[in-house]
Amino acid sequence: MVGPIILACGVFLSRKRRYANWAKTVYVVACLVGLLWGILGFIVWPPVHVTRQAYALLLSFKNMCAGFLIGSLLSVLIARRYEKTRLHQL
């Protein structure tokens, strides 16, 4: 649950790299989806007393969040559209 928050904060507070605005947006959305994925994981993990259809819906939504998270982070990592900053420019 802490990992997505650290990842999003690391993008905004990094002194070594300047990320593009679209990459920052993707990281913030990935942070929110990662938190939602963790919350759904805690909901689905213990045996919950819901119908099979509701359980399948929660589980499929959790898997969809995981797929979105992996895909969005891979797209930013493959693009690598950041600029390295020099210490004398700060």
How many CA atoms are closer than 13 Å to the CA of 83, on its beta-carbon side?
Answer: 7
Q: Where are the domains of the chain?
A: 3-84
| Length of the chain as a residue count | 90
Q: What's residue 29's pLDDT?
A: 93
Q: What's residue 71's pLDDT?
A: 93
Distances (CA, A) of 5 to 24, 33, 40, 83, 87: 13, 11, 17, 22, 26
Among the ranges given (22-26, 27-31, 39-43, 86-90), the one the predictor scored with the smallest mean pLDDT? 86-90
